[in-house]
């Protein structure tokens, strides 16, 4: 069973992409809606929550885990990998990998929560690439995806790549309130994107799993910029991994079963979940 967790229901955009890439695989989702958002919590608390989320998924049958939360991926991914033995995927590494493949001028923008932007996770991934020995062969499933793939990269592009960040704390509540077509949302988004546009980025990473919901709106604001959907990229990363690791693939059940758990259930939540996944689902409340 593929386990996926997020601080809320934004990670359902990852579920949606995994279902596209790997139809038929059993999926287990946990949204920590009682403690959302993670973006304004301390690093210590984010690590604690992420470990509890991961252990919940393992107890319910997960054989590998996607951390479908940019904040948890940024702050807690290494911590999880050091405490849990099964393969764990974050959403930051595949998104950065995609950006490095796409960028022409080496100027890559990132929008996300303050915790994601301030974590230094993207910078750490990039510095690892820039200082890596391109001849190394790494097969450890716990190694970051970008380290396993780096031989495919143009090393000159990697060396010259610069990252430009913009925290966008108001986008998540606007998306969850379904304010997608409101003029105030367009104005706020323009405000966040303007500094990145001025930095002449040619590639933008959507550094939050909520943001694919407004991807088309972002693309209208940045017409000449390639936009990276981290949910889509981590789903492709998982598919590639399973193709190359048949023993792990055989351990995953494929009965088209899906279970969705949340730590707090409200009437409003079902509507948001449908918006993110594109279908009605049965959300089951649980206590960690």
* Helices and strands (H, E) in the chain, number of each type: 14, 10
Write down the CATH number for the domain with range 92-230: 3.40.50.1860
pLDDT for the residue 116: 85
**69 catalytic, yes or no?**
yes
CA distance 241 to 233: 12
Give pTM, 2 decimals: 0.87
| CATH architecture of the domain formed by 2-90+232-285 | 3-Layer(aba) Sandwich (3.40)
pLDDT tens-digit readout, 184-227: 999 999 999 999 999 999 999 999 999 999 999 999 999 999 99
CA distance 2 to 25: 7
Bridge partners for 109 per DSSP? 164, 204
Q: What average pLDDT does the structure give for the chain?
A: 89
pLDDT tens-digit readout, 89-141: 999 989 998 999 899 999 999 999 888 888 889 998 888 766 654 333 333 44
Q: Which of the residues 171, 208, 234, 252 is marked catalytic?
A: 208
Report residue 156's pLDDT band, with 50, 70 and 90 as the boundaries.
low
Mean local confidence (pLDDT), 269-280: 89
**Tokens 């601080």 sit on residue:** 7
Most distant CA pair in the chain: distance in Å?
53
Task: Enter the tokens of residue 287.
Answer: 């206590």
Look at residue 144 and tell me whether its pLDDT is greater than 50.
Answer: no
Nearest to 240 by CA among 162, 152, 131: 152
Q: Where in the chain is the domain with CATH 3.40.50.1860?
A: 2-90+232-285, 92-230
Bridge partners for 6 per DSSP? 31
CA distance 72 to 6: 8
CA angle 162–168–171, rounded 5-degree value: 135
Report residue 271's pLDDT band, with 50, 70 and 90 as the boundaries.
confident
CB-based contact 127:146 (threshold 8 Å): no
Q: Which of the residues 9, 66, 69, 99 is marked catalytic?
A: 69
Mean local confidence (pLDDT), 229-234: 94
Report residue 155's pLDDT band, with 50, 70 and 90 as the boundaries.
low
pLDDT for the residue 132: 54
Mean local confidence (pLDDT), 171-195: 92
**125 catalytic, yes or no?**
no
pLDDT for the residue 112: 92
How many Cα atoms within 13 Å fall on the side-chain side of residue 134?
10
């Amino acid at each position: 069973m593929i386990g996926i967790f997020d601080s809320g229901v934004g990670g359902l955009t990852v579920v949606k992409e995994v279902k596209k890439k790997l139809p038929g695989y059993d999926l287990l989702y946990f949204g920590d809606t009682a403690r959302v958002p993670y973006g304004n919590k301390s690093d210590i608390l984010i690590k604690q929550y992420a470990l509890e989320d991961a252990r919940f998924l393992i107890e319910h049958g997960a054989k590998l885990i996607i951390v479908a939360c940019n904040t948890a991926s940024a702050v807690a991914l290494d911590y999880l990998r050091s405490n849990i033995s099964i393969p764990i995927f974050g959403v930051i590494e595949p998104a950065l990998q995609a950006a490095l493949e796409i960028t022409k001028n080496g100027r890559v923008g990132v929008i996300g929560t303050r915790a994601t932007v301030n974590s230094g996770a993207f910078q750490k991934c990039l510095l690892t690439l820039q200082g890596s020995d391109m001849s190394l062969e790494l097969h450890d499933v716990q190694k970051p995806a970008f380290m396993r793939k780096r031989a495919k990269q143009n090393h000159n592009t990697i060396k010259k790549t610069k990252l430009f960040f913009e925290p966008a704390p108001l986008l998540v509540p606007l998306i969850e309130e379904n304010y997608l077509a409101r003029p105030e949302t367009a104005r706020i988004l323009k405000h966040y994107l303007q500094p990145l546009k001025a930095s002449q980025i040619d590639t933008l990473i959507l550094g939050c799993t909520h943001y694919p919901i407004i991807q088309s709106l972002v693309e209208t604001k940045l017409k000449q910029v390639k936009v990276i959907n981290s949910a889509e990229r981590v789903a492709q990363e998982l598919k590639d991994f399973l193709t190359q690791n048949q023993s792990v693939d055989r351990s995953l059940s494929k009965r088209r079963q899906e279970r969705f758990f949340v730590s707090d259930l409200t009437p409003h939540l079902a509507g948001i979940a449908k918006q993110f996944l594109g279908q009605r689902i049965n959300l089951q409340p649980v206590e960690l």
